[in-house]
Each structure stands twice: as C-alpha cells, then as structure tokens.
Amino acid sequence: MHLLVTGGAGFIGANFVHLTRRTRPDVSITVVDSMTYAANRDSLAGLDAVRIVEVDVSELAVVDPLVAEADVVVHFAAESHNDNSLDSPWPFLRSNIMGTFSVLEACRKHGTRLHHISTDEVYGDLDLDDPSKFDEFTPYNPSSPYSASKASSDLLVRAWVRSFGVRATISNCSNNYGPYQHVEKFIPRQITEVLEGRRPKLYGAGLNVRDWIHVDDHNSAVWSILDRGEMGRTYLIGADGEVNNLTVVQTILKLMGRDPNGFDHVSDRPGHDLRYAIDSSTLRRELGWKPDFVDFEAGLQATIDWFTHNRGWWQPQKAAVEAKYARTQEVIK
C-alpha cells in the first residue's frame, strides 16, 4: 500500500508516520507538507523510506500527481491553532478549506480513497453540567475561525462523497497530546515554561474542559478506520479523558516537582469554548478500537519526559511563540 500523508510533518501527522513505520513496515509513505511554522522536518528524522515533498496542498497541480500514485490519502494538513485563527483567519480558510478542496478534487479524478482528519470543535461546546457528549449526530456549531474552517472542510468531504461518489471517511477527534506537539499548544507550552524556569499560563479561571487523548490512540483509531471503516461515514474519536485546564496545569506542576499553585492566570481567549466531550462508542463497538493510554497522568509524565529530553526539537521556536503570546495576553493574577 502507498500512503500519501498530507501535513505529515505536523504534530499528529508526524506521529501517524512514526506509528505506521513501527507497525506496518510494508506500507510506503509520501509526506506532503508546506512546512509552515507548525511543521518540523526533524519530527520525521531517522525514518526510513519516507519521501517528503514540500508543497502546499491547496496547489492542485502539484498535489494531483501525488494523489494519482497513492492508494490512500490521509489528510492531516491544516492550520490548527485557535489563538492564531483569532489573530489572522485567512491562512485557516486557505489551508483548511482550499486545501481540502484540492485534495478532494484530486481524489475524485483518480478514484483515490481519502480519510479526512477533523476535530470535535466543529460541534461547538457543551455546558459543564450537560450529561450529553458529542456524537456523529450532533449538529455542527463551530465557534472560532479555525473550527468554522474545519467544519467547512468536513462539509466539502460529505458533498464530494454524495455528489461525486468519492470514497472518503471522516474522523473528528478530541484534544491530542504527546511528542512533537508545537509549543504554542496548551500542554507543551506549560511543560516548556516550567523547563525554562517560568510559570505556566492559564486562560481565565481554567475551568474549561478538554477531552484529552494521546496522539498514538488517535492514530491507532485512524488505522482502524482505514482498515475497517465504512465509506461515507464519520467516526468520532475520543478516550474519555475529560479534565479541566486548571487540573492539567496543577498536574504538570506536581509531576515536574513544582508547587501545584505556581502558575499565572492570563487574559482569556475570546469566544473560548467551555467544554468538549466525545462519545466514541460507535467506533469502539463497530470497529473494535480502544485506547491504550487510559491513565492521563502516566501519559502526561511520558510527554514531560519527551519534552525534557528533546529540548533541541522545541527550543528554537519557544522564544518567538512566547513573544507572540506576550503581545495579546497579560497576567491577571
């Protein structure tokens, strides 16, 4: 099997390539990645037989021949950081909407099977005391330019399935953590702040809840869908990992041997989604998938260890990320 992995030098895509190399040595892989700030060639260092093509997936003329030679396309490529989408929405529309359009057009032309990676944020957010979780029937209700662009991309995939018979599946996953995650994101930002001798930065009161899943569990679910998923279907991926941000920060501080209250509150994100929660029972029941990382603290510890031992991977980006945050966020307590 030959796989085309878009966004394969980004966080989740690179972990997907690593997992595939470890578990499926007979699969050959081409990574197509525009190598924006969020990608890192070093995330794929040392991997045999991975071809890397540096191009923006929204350039159909370049993506087309790559799709033509692939058996399956796994489409990770996306702008993914909410804070950046509030600052500058256009790259999100271009990468997430136009990029998906171009991948769909190439898959339509060549009859190539597509798996589209999406997010639980397309469903909006839940109240803290809402007993329900997102499932495949939850109406789309995105809040930010980022989540609206991902929702748009999902709808394009659905339309190409129905109107053109493209063989595609979609997955909507909850918040990922693990190795190679960019330091702008919540968990790596806090770990690296502590490693650099500064205090973690919590938005608002920290009561917002995210449903954490280890990136390897996300990607093993993607493989379950590639192996056994039904064309045209949407699968929700989650590992029952709901935790509020305050608890995450305090746990990181505790695991790193610091005072659990040694963090700063900073100004909140505008339009900040309150809670995400995924019901993944369909995926578990129909495709027999289950997560391996069921102990969030153990997963966090492994992630802390990875960032501690891979300073050379993240340090070049850290100062610029913090300088950017400093322009929009102020410490409030």
Q: Rounded to whole angstroms, how far apart are CA atoms 325 and 205?
A: 18
Contacts of 318 (CB under 8 A, 6+ apart): 183, 192, 196
84 binds ligand TDX (CB under 6 A): no
- Residue 293 contacts ligand TDX per CB under 6 A: no
Which of residues 2 and 254 has its CB atom nearest to ligand TDX in the complex? 254
| SS3 (DSSP) at 60 | helix
Q: Is 119 in the site for ligand TDX (CB under 6 A)?
A: yes
**Candidate list 79, 120, 273, 322, residue with the active-site label:** 120
Nearer to ligand TDX, 18 or 201 (CB): 201
Return the number of the residue (67 or 213) whose C-beta is nearest ligand TDX.
213
104 binds ligand TDX (CB under 6 A): no
Q: Catalytic pick from 56, 105, 121, 193?
A: 121
**Residue 83 among the catalytic residues:** no
What size, in residues, is the chain? 333
Instruction: State the Cα–Cα distance between residues 238 and 4, nearest whole angstrom.
Output: 24
Site string for ligand TDX, 5-44 (x = CB under 6 A): ----------------------------------------
Task: State the CB neighbour count (10 A cutoff) for residue 96.
Answer: 28
How many residues in the shown chain lie near ligand TDX by CB under 6 A?
16
Which two structure tokens, joined as six digits, stand for 84? Answer: 């950046």
The shares of helix, strand and coil residues in the chain, as percent rounded to the nearest 5, are: 45, 15, 40
Which is closer to ligand TDX, CB of 231 or CB of 319?
A: 319
Q: Which of 199, 216, 180 is nearest to 289 (CA)?
A: 216
CB contact at 8 A, 66 and 53? yes
Q: 154 catalytic, yes or no?
A: no
Question: Smallest distance, Å, CB 288 to ligand TDX?
Answer: 25
3-state secondary structure of 207: coil
Q: x-or-dash pattern for ligand TDX, window 159-198, by CB under 6 A?
A: ----------------x---------xx--x---------
- Least separation in angstroms between residue 186's CB and ligand TDX is 3
In angstroms, the CA 125 to CA 175 distance is: 13
Residue whose CB is nearest to ligand TDX in the complex, by number = 119
* Closest CB to ligand TDX among residues 25, 270: 270
Give which of 16, 118, 110, 4 is closest to 57, Cα–Cα: 4
Q: In this chain, which of 21, 81, 113, 290 binds ligand TDX, going by CB under 6 A? A: 81
Candidate residues 121, 125, 154, 279; the one interacting with ligand TDX per rule CB under 6 A: 121
Neighbour-count burial of 329, counting CB atoms closer than 10 A to its CB (0-12 exposed, 13-18 middle, 19+ buried): middle
Between residue 191 and residue 220, which ones bind ligand TDX under the rule CB under 6 A?
201-203, 208, 210
State the minimum distance, in angstroms, from the CB of residue 206 to ligand TDX. Answer: 6
Token representation of residue 107: 């898959």
Which residue intervals of 82-195 are DSSP H helices? 82-87, 90-92, 99-110, 145-164, 186-195
User: Is 330 labeled as catalytic in the residue annotation?
Assistant: no
Separation CA 67–CA 113 (nearest Å): 9
Q: Does 245 bind ligand TDX (CB under 6 A)?
A: yes
Interface positions with ligand TDX (CB under 6 A): 80-82, 119, 121, 175, 185-186, 189, 201-203, 208, 210, 245, 269
Question: Catalytic residues, which ones?
Answer: 120-121, 146
